[in-house]
Structures are given as C-alpha cells and as structure tokens.
Structure 1
Amino acid sequence: MGIVHHSNYLRYFEVARLEWLSQLGVSYKLMEQEGIIMPVIEVNLSYKTPALFEDKLIVEVNLEEVPKVKMKFSYLIKNQNNQIVCLGETTLAFLNSKTRKPMRCPEKVKILFFGKE
C-alpha cells in the first residue's frame, strides 16, 4: 500500500515535542529525577492527505498556552511538497511521580518557555 500507518503520527508528534523541549533545556529524565512525570492525557488528530513511505515529513510543534497543570501542544505535519498531511494536538499533565496526583507546572519550566514573568 505504501501509506504510513495512522498510529505513526503519534510517534512523530512525540519526537518533535521531545526535540522542541530539549532545545529549550527541558529534560524528561531530569524532571523524572525531580519527581515530575508528564503523561499524555488527550490526543486529537485530523488526517488531511496520506503520507507515503518515501515522503520527507516536516513536523512543526507549538505550545498553545501557558502551562498550569496541563500543557497543550499543536502539531502540523507537511510533506516535501508542502502539503498538509496531518494536524493534531496533545495535552500532557504534570503529575507528582510518587502520588500520581496533578501538580502545577514548575516555575523553572515556565521560565524556560516564556522567560521571567
């Protein structure tokens, strides 16, 4: 068939999000060492045109709002012809790793995203 399986788009989102966070100095590993985990709690995808196995895909990721207890990201995936392949959103929650209860976004993380408020 030659078409990328729909589940792969979630992996593309994750890789782009992790790279984006890393470029800002946010490390999942360090956050986990500090007792913070960030599971994905909601996903929304809208497929526009199929991606083919040989396509060169570009994933754009944006933080949609100042994080409080949750962080919402939007994604745009394009192929080498600049066609929109997929649009999506993920919402992640900040949780205390021991209690698994929601917690506020650490101030130092907000500063990495937006600078001093």
Structure 2
Amino acid sequence: MPVTSKIRVRYAETDQMGVVYYANYFVWFEIGRVEVLRSVGLSYDQMEKDHKLILPVVDASCRYKSPAKYDEEILIETRPALLRGSVIKFAYRIYRDADQDGAERKLLAEGETVHVVCDEKFERQPLPDSYVAALRNLME
C-alpha cells in the first residue's frame, strides 16, 4: 500500500562529495507524508485551517543503508504504520530508482516519524474522523 513519490536529488541537498546530507532524508519524509494525505484527498493545510490542528513530530528515526547522490532519482515510499488516539506513526523507505542501464532499485534508508495531533496550544486532540477513516483505509 505505500504511497510513492519520486524526486531527483538536487545539488543543494548534497555535500562536497555529491552525497546527500543525512538530515535531508527527514525533508524527504515530509514530502512522503504530504503525498499520503494528498492521495486520499486530504491535506495538512486543510487540517490546520478547517480543524485548527497540527501534527508536531515527537520522534523521528532514520537508518541509512547506502548513500544517495546528486542527480539520482529517488523514490519515497510512505505509509501510515500506526494510528492510535491522537498518535500517528508513518513509516518510510527511500530507494534509488532503477536506471536505464538495468541497475535495480536499491534501498537507501528507512525510517519512522511519530506525530501527536494537537491544537495551536499543543494540547492533544483527536484526529478528525475523515482523517482517521482515510488513514485506516490505507493501512488495510
């Protein structure tokens, strides 16, 4: 079920050796989360405006397997992994896309982020029913 997003590594995301700086994987995780919501017709913006809710990250991890490099096409696979009360966990896998020379797709990193649904005062709130239903549907 994962939702897949495709990006190309930009020069600004790399160090002098052309290798992606480790913190950029967390930026890619965010791209994946946004696309998961978009894939079910929802958005962060809608949640913030219509429901006055935010999803702060309370835990994040990434395990690096192989370096991503400048100008490579990267696949970001994202799925909701846990939905319990006001807690949402997303799981990610970052792959180097297969190339024209026949090289297979390769796992570069995998990770998770945990979010707590909060109001603007950072007090826990329930996730709106429409979001719960959409995310649960993706988890099946």
TM-score of the aligned structures, taking structure 1 as reference length: 0.90
The aligned amino acid for 1:105 is: L
3-state SS, counterpart of residue 73 of structure 2? coil
- Alignment of 1:19 onto 2:35: yes
Structure 1 residue 79: Cα displacement: 0.4
Structure 2 unpaired stretches of 5+: 1-16, 98-103
CA-atom RMSD in angstroms: 1.3
The aligned amino acid for 1:50 is: P
Query: What is the match of residue 10 of structure 1?
Result: 26
Query: What is the match of residue 11 of structure 2?
Result: none
The aligned amino acid for 1:108 is: S
Residue pair 1:69, 1:93 contacting (<8 A) in 2 also: yes
Q: Tell me the distance in 1 between the aligned counterparts of 2:106 and 2:43.
A: 32
Structure 1 residue 14: Cα displacement: 0.3
Q: Tell me the distance in 2 between the aligned counterparts of 1:64 and 1:108.
A: 17
- Alignment of 1:105 onto 2:121: no
- Alignment of 1:45 onto 2:62: yes
- Alignment of 1:92 onto 2:109: no
- Alignment of 1:36 onto 2:53: yes
Out of 54, 57, 71, the residue aligned to residue 74 of structure 2 is 57
Structure 1 residue 113: Cα displacement: 2.2
Structure 1 unpaired stretches of 5+: none
Identical-residue share of aligned pairs (%): 27
Residue pair 1:67, 1:105 contacting (<8 A) in 2 also: no
